[in-house]
Amino acid sequence: MQQTNAIWIKDPLAILADGAERGIVVQNGRIVELVPNGGRPAMPAAAFEAGEHVVLPGLINTHHHFYQTLTRAMPAALGRELFPWLQALYPVWARLTPERLELAVTVAMSELLLSGCTTTTDHHYVFPPGLEQAIDIEVAVTRRLGLRALLTRGSMNRSQRDGGLPPDSVVQDEDTILADSARLVAEHHQRGEDAIVQIALAPCSPFSVTTSLMRATATLAEKLDVRLHTHLAETEDENRFCGEMHGCRPLDYLEQCGWLGARTWLAHGIHFDAPEMQRLGEAGITISHCACSNQLLASGCCPVCEMEAAGVGIGLGVDGSASNDASNLMQEVRTAFLVQRARYGVGRVSHKDALRWATKGSATCIGRPELGEISVGKMADLALFRLDELRFSGHGDPLAALVLCGAHRADRVMVGGRWVVVDGAIPDLDMADLIHRHGAAARAMQAG
């Protein structure tokens, strides 16, 4: 439950907000006051002494595949680009069971929470027989751990026999996909600024779904008023595939399918040209930048500054743990900063840009403007970091130190005014037991 008594996050070492030098006051799940230098709260409030903490808005992860924590650094997939990487992993992912998925989701969400993430998305599109309740499993873990989640009902219906990449064992037919999508929205999607669980619809990619399903999903999302998500322009192979299969580039195909609108956010967005970026901006489409994954698979680099200049909102995503091998959003902030600094130079990309992408930018991606910012009226989702590790010794600017010195673990995390990480740990979670059971499940799944 949200607290009714006010909490003063008092005198932080640093805070990513203007006019809050003495901290912020939280009540009933929201930020109700910024306390400026020399000021005190206007209302009675219990103090949480934050003098050793750097306070950020809760980080927001805009792209992930939770189930992939079971195939991290898998030998058969090492040293491969996207398409052969997928072909190596699909047969292993076909061995997912409800028990294995529950462990994978718990690991991914726990790692995200510990990295300062308060809201996450997930793109689950693998549904082998017996895993029809995959998204329901994710909903249960979300509620148990206490972070917010926009869970996407992913889908694939174009298998190898139809010219796609996935094997027949992990795809479903269009009617099944659409019926389950409608069911999940009806049963789990919450409206309102305090929503914990939301549902979006997310065909996997142009090379794993049919045109019919892409169009029908867009129509259903419009009817149910939920967001749309897919991978797009991740690799040059995808561009070639779209040219051969559909006779056009991926963005043109997206428009033909009725996806060019503000409810859509896309993963990766690496290989758009300048006119396409302009079209994205005009349509209100946003992009999830997945810097670690894009480097590991050598897919390319999202042109973030050109995107933003064209009016395209940018958020950050860790992507799946088989193409990132981590679910640490604070590390993703640092990677995005370094990649984009190298691309554009010191004058165009700062550490505050990278933090902005992971907070306010990511909130725009998922259509939740009440998140991602420390200001009055916003939801009280916060990440607090200590700078007492060796890596920070000698730092100057505390906010810069988080990014430049490689912060990776939050000391405290608050979601809707409730502490969900305390002293660097998730209350009531037996981490050693989770690691043991998850590791055993991963070994069994990879062994076949």
Query: Rounded to whole angstroms, how far apart are CA atoms 147 and 309?
Result: 32
Q: Is residue 8 part of a domain?
A: no
Q: Is residue 287 part of a domain?
A: yes
Kindly state the percentage of the chain with pLDDT values over 90.
92
Q: Is residue 122 part of a domain?
A: yes
* pLDDT over 60 (residue 2): no
Residue whose pair of structure tokens reads 């209100």 in the numeric block: 284
Hey, what are 51's tokens? 């003098």
Q: Is residue 17 part of a domain?
A: no
Query: Rounded to whole angstroms, how far apart are CA atoms 110 and 106?
Result: 6
Closest CA to 131 of 72, 158, 188, 171: 171
333-388 confidence digits (pLDDT tens): 999 999 999 999 999 999 999 999 999 999 999 999 999 999 999 999 999 999 99
CB 125 within 8 A of CB 156: yes
118-147 confidence digits (pLDDT tens): 999 999 999 999 999 999 999 999 999 999
Q: Is residue 91 part of a domain?
A: yes
Q: What is the pLDDT of residue 165?
A: 80
pLDDT tier at 166, thresholds 50, 70, 90: confident
Q: How many CB atoms lie within 10 A of CB 192?
A: 7
CB 202 within 8 A of CB 154: yes
Q: How many CB atoms lie within 10 A of CB 383?
A: 30
Amino acid letter for position 297 = L
pLDDT tier at 4, thresholds 50, 70, 90: low
CB 410 within 8 A of CB 330: yes
* pLDDT over 50 (residue 304): yes
Number of domains in the chain: 1
Strand, coil or helix: 73: coil
Question: How far is C-alpha 189 from the geometric centre of its chain's CA atoms?
Answer: 18
* pLDDT over 80 (residue 191): yes
What is the largest distance, in Å, between two alpha-carbon atoms of the chain? 69
What mean pLDDT value characterizes the chain?
Answer: 96
Q: What is the pLDDT of residue 385?
A: 98
* pLDDT over 60 (residue 286): yes
Burial 394-404 (b: 16+ CB within 10 A, else e): eeeebbebbbb
Hey, what are 307's tokens? 């995107």
Q: Is residue 115 part of a domain?
A: yes
Q: Is residue 151 part of a domain?
A: yes
Query: Rounded to whole angstroms, how far apart are CA atoms 382 and 183?
Result: 32
Q: Strand pairing partners for 292?
A: none
Q: Is residue 87 part of a domain?
A: yes
Tell me which residue range forms the domain holding 319: 59-365
Half-sphere exposure of 367 (CA within 13 A, CB side): 20
Q: What is the pLDDT of residue 128?
A: 95
Distances (CA, A) of 204 to 221, 228, 229, 294, 301: 15, 11, 8, 17, 20
Q: What is the pLDDT of residue 363?
A: 98
pLDDT tier at 155, thresholds 50, 70, 90: very high
The burial of 328, by beta-carbon neighbours within 10 Å (0-12 exposed, 13-18 middle, 19 or more buried), is given as: buried
User: What residues contact residue 104 under an 8 Å CB cut-off, 6+ apart?
Assistant: 66, 67, 68, 69, 70, 96, 438, 441
76-124 confidence digits (pLDDT tens): 999 999 889 999 999 999 999 999 999 999 999 999 999 999 999 999 9
Which helix (H) or strand (E) segment holds residue 316: the answer is strand 314-316
Pairing mode of beta strands 286-289, 412-415 = unpaired
CB 231 within 8 A of CB 204: yes
Q: Which domain CATH number covers 165?
A: 3.20.20.140
Sheet containing 382-386: give its strands across.
14-15, 53-57, 382-386, 412-415, 418-421
